[in-house]
Amino acid sequence: ETGVTQTPRHLVMGMTNKKSLKCEQHLGHNAMYWYKQSAKKPLELMFVYSLEERVENNSVPSRFSPECPNSSHLFLHLHTLQPEDSALYLCASSPQGNTEAFFGQGTRLTVV
Nearer to another protein, 80 or 105 (CB): 105
Q: Is 8 in the site for another protein (CB under 8 A)?
A: no
Nearer to another protein, 17 or 24 (CB): 24
End-to-end CA distance of the chain: 31
Q: Are strands 107-111 and 10-13 parallel, antiparallel or unpaired?
A: parallel
Using DSSP's 3-state secondary structure scheme, residue 10 falls into strand
d(CA 94, CA 103): 9
Q: Is 90 in the site for another protein (CB under 8 A)?
A: yes
d(CA 46, CA 78): 13
Q: How far is the CB of 2 from another protein (least distance, A)?
A: 7
Q: Is 105 in the site for another protein (CB under 8 A)?
A: yes
Contact indicator for 4, 23 with CB cutoff of 8 Å: yes
Subset of 18-47 contacting another protein (CB under 8 A): 31, 33, 35, 41-43, 45
Binding residues for another protein, per CB under 8 A? 2, 31, 33, 35, 41-43, 45, 48, 50, 55-56, 58, 90, 92, 94, 96, 98-101, 103-106
